[in-house]
Structure 1
Amino acid sequence: MSFIETLHRYVAVESPTGDPRSLAALAEVLEADATRAGFSTARVPHPTGDHLIWTLPAREVAGEPILLLSHYDTVWPVGTLAEMPWSVEDDVIRGPGVYDTKSGIVALLAAAERIGDRPHPEIRVIVVADEEIGSPTAGDLVRAEAARARAVLGLEPPHPDGDLKTGRRGSTRARIEVTGIETHAALDPDAGVNAIDELIDQLLRFRAVVAERPVLLNTGTIAGGGRTNVVAGAAHADLGLRFSDPDNERAVLEALRSLRPVRERAEVSARLLSHRPTWRPGPAGEALLQQIKDIAAGIGEDLDGRPADGAADTNTAGSLGYPTVDGLAPAGGGAHARTEWVSAASIAGRTALLAALLTGVDGVSRG
């Protein structure tokens, strides 16, 4: 079966984050293909979608495994294919999830089949079910597997020019929750505490903290109250935060945890919905990148790497100093956009590169 036919099968099974039935349907397809490629398969069950763990036993190479990180959830709801259909025109393949990141899974499984009887270390793969919302249920799994790996390779899309990713911004989703006191808004307003008003003041205070730092803050959703004649008894806001360095990340998250009510009798709390720490380039990652560049040169590819703005599961491994490089999925564009596309030639190219890496990456000292 060709790369394109395999990718078409994966895209045809829509798999939005948080839809366990849809994710389970695609998991069955992926596990069957992984088994054919020589992997044993297992799952870490979760109510919102199971995480998949695949293992290819070592052949004549002892020591720590190579860990690959991918995901099979997408941002696209079921039904998107009707409005954003699969298509192939010359080198351009379109469809929901082709670039982020179902083509990466295609390339990985094809690479595993290609290495055949060549010596290689144990290969472990985690295919996460909730990556698109920050992997809130997969962080511990990624940390545990990365702790024993000789190298961590991320199967997220590369930079637009095909280069790899050697660091990422920290990414946190947080929720500020306010509890007030409901009462009649006209007959006895002073007996109540308006949770929406308190939330607005809290957002202004927190924004002032962030404004002094190189931190991106997006207030994504606000909800609360119920009727205009009732003082709002509850409200909350979900925030998206992006960090370029660990010091500002620590300071801002501490300020979030330290929020205190402006109004008497109001209750204010904050919690993290998901958290991927800042991953800055370090010695272990740079050494791994150099290995990858040398291996790529051996098959006629000129590759380099640099940090990226987006976040992924490689944040978790890279931030701990483990040798980590991301961006090994095929090239394309339009992630999370209706213009999403992937290069057919790049799927073949990344398959060749991954096969070379799985048989050629040595251990790297950790920073």
Structure 2
Amino acid sequence: MSQWWEIDHSTDPIKTLEKLVSISSKSDDTKGVARVQSLLKKLFEREGLVCYTLSDEQSKAGPLLIAELPGQTNEWVNLICHADTVHNKSDFSLKMKKLSDTKYTGPGVIDNKGGIVVILETIKKIKKLLPEKSHRTLGIRVVCSPNEEIGSPGFHHYFNSFSKNAHAVLGFEPAAPDGSIIGSRQGNRWYNIEVSGESAHAGRDHHLGVNAGHEVALKAVALEELTDYERGLTVNIGHLQAGDKVHNVVADHATALVDVRFKSLEQRKNIHTKIEAILNKSSVSNAKGSKSESNWKIVDDCPPFALGERSKKLFNVYQQAISKIEKRKIKLIHAGGCADSNHFNRADLPILDGLGPVGAEMHTNKEWIDVSSIDSRAQAAAFLINDLMTNSEITMNKPNLQIKRAAFSDMPAIAKIIRSSADWYSPFVSKEDMKEHLVDEKWQKVNFPRRDFWIGKIDEKQTVGTVSLQYFERSAYLGYVYLDTAHTGKGYGKKLLDHAKEIATQNGMRHMVLLAHPKAHWAISAYKKYGFTCIEKDKDKILSWNNSSLKPYYEDGFHLYQFNLE
């Protein structure tokens, strides 16, 4: 295998970047975004990656593009980018313009089409460093959003599911002008506020009016006062509107759009309590005592990600590579803006962002890129990924999983594990079927004698996973295969399935079967990788399968998967 500093650099990424920049792909231009993703699919497939798309039924945007280079395990390094930009076709010419030997300008040239090219070049270098699947202990997964510039609505649940088996997340948003990269990001929450009052003539009947504009203005002032720069909290009134654009009528309706930024989930909780109090308070009334009424809803909720110890270790490796390649030192910085990488955040998962090329003035007609940084940043990213696959200091230590038959005293721990992932299923599982995920004490008493439960522990006290078996003729039904959400992506799920296979074989079973929802991508991916195949999607056929054995356990929309033991 090649050494990272000996990689051939004969390919010309600038031509790829020119092609991408020539395609107009503002977030709402679905055809343009689709053209970008179609080109990327061809380029990734040329490098041997397996590509597929994931759609959201309620989103008007195109699908997510996923490109995967498998490794030996079901753990992945996620590389994050997006195909859309903020630029209209008319903003400036859809061409890259050369400003100097290494400085080019163009719409989206740095955000994020330059980042996409860095990922493409990183993949090429990784394939030269680690050409065979047997060389790669981790898989590499590219996640390309069609609408990141407007918050990737409709796709957050996919990001969350991909984080479950993620080993690390690397975002390829632009680096800072001095080359520094991002180690933490603010979270944000968007509130849409509607205030209703009572209209009246502004002269003759002013005292009978309930001015919604006055009410929303008072709320705006109170909300702005929550800003605390020292603590990293900001509240911004992005838009205010009241009445019908006339002077002489008391406004009976008003709206406001509010953006809130915070550094931690605790801050989000605390400031939401204060915001809720302001929004629920009515300060404006008329002579009859009628008051204004306010309604509000949260329309976007992006969690923050903080700098963790494992992220610091990743940065040290990346910094070492940049120092050698670019002959400069870089820093970790905090970004006030949000990105798709925020939605991958979970406990102890290392995240770095800003691994794209160096440039500045993004979202303007002066947006520029230092094209020399495309290759240097790709080299550094390839070095980092190679180190991730080999360096035990960064690779998460995985204690041995001990599996034993569960006693009834273990059922509370099992129920807790099942409940820990209930939020993953709630977007697509009916309220009635969610009872199977929000299990209680009654469930424990009913199911313990019905199923053969096994638990996985990493020490004598910490239960991290469970699997249950029931036997229907020659098929073993795996009713519950669950991991504590804090322990996903560590190989424990495979060990539980290995154990279930061993027990099913000892009991003379021919197959293992289970039910899985097609939108539970974290589970489907693991089951397929293990060797399960989908044998039935039709509800009626699943309900009648094997003399209706699964009828008591079926949840609407789930498919039937089978693993052959013989």
TM-score by length of 1: 0.88
Give 1:64's aligned amino acid.
Answer: E
* SS of equivalent to 1:268: strand
Corresponding residue for residue 349 of structure 2: 322
CA–CA distance in structure 2, aligned partners of residues 105 and 290 of structure 1:
23
1:286-321 Cα offsets, whole Å, 9 max, x none, are 233234345656767666542322322222334644
How far 1:187 moved relative to its partner? 5.1
Residue 123 of structure 1 corresponds to which residue in structure 2?
A: 140
Summarize the Cα distance change of 1:364–1:157 in structure 2 as closer, same or farther, 3 Å threshold.
farther
1:348 aligns to what? 375
Identity, % of aligned positions:
27
Aligned mates of 1:151, 1:54 — CA distance in 2 = 16
| Structure 1 partner of 2:443 | none
Q: Select between 304-313 and 218-227 the one with higher mean Cα deviation.
A: 304-313
**Corresponding residue to 1:50 among 51, 59, 62:** 62
In the TM superposition, what whole-angstrom CA distance separates every residue of 1:169-205 from its partner, at most 9, and x where no partner exists? 2233322221223444445444442221111111122
Matches of 1:301 and 1:313 in 2, distance apart?
30
Contact 2:162 2:344 survives alignment (8 Å): no
Contact 1:16 1:74 in 2 (8 A): yes
Report the more deviating stretch, 235-244 or 86-95: 235-244
SS at match of 1:105: helix
Residue 91 (structure 1) shift = 0.2
Larger mean CA deviation between 333-342 and 44-53 belongs to 44-53
Alignment correspondent of 1:224: 242
- Aligned match of 2:261: 242
State whether residues 330 and 346 of structure 1, in contact with CA within 8 Å, keep that contact through their aligned partners in structure 2: yes
| Pairs within 5 Å for 1:86-97 | 86-88=96-98, 89-97=100-108
| Paired residues of 2:177 and 2:359 also in contact (CA < 8 A) | yes
Q: Distance in 2 between matches of 1:193 and 1:29?
A: 56
Say which SS state the counterpart of residue 41 (structure 2) adopts.
Answer: helix
Residues 1:106 and 2:106 are matched in the alignment = no
Equivalent position amino acid for 1:282 in 2: G
Q: 1:133-186 deviations in whole A, cap 9, x for unaligned?
A: 333333222121112111111111123221221111223332222122344444
Cα shift readout 1:313-336 (whole Å, capped 9, x = no counterpart): 222334644111111101111122
Distance 1:212 1:108, change over 3 A: closer
**Is the partner of 1:98 in helix, strand or coil?**
coil
Give the CA deviation at 1:15. Answer: 1.3
Residue correspondence of structure 1 range 147-158 to structure 2 within 5 A: 147-158=164-175
Q: What SS does structure 2 have at the residue aligned with 1:221?
A: strand
Q: Which moved more, 1:148-157 or 1:224-233?
A: 224-233
Return the alpha-carbon distance in structure 2 between the equivalents of residues 111 and 306 of structure 1: 21
- Indicate how the Cα distance of structure 1 residues 224 and 155 shifts in structure 2: closer, same or farther if over 3 A, else same: same
Deviations 1:239-296 (A, max 9, x none): 2222244443322222223321223442212323322223221123223323434565
Residue 70 (structure 1) shift: 1.1
Partner of 2:315: 289
Matched, 1:339 2:363: no
Query: Is the contact made by 2:180 and 2:330 (CA closer than 8 Å) also made in structure 1?
Result: yes
- Equivalent residue in structure 2 for 1:21, among 25, 31, 34: 31
State the AA in 2 paired with 1:217. Answer: V
| Paired residues, number | 365
Show structure 1 runs of 5+ residues with no match.
Answer: none
SS in 2 for 1:140: helix
Q: State the partner residue of 2:182.
A: 165
Aligned to 2:517: none
CA contact (8 A) 1:181 1:194 kept: yes
Q: Which has the higher contact order (CA 8 A, sep 6+)?
A: 1
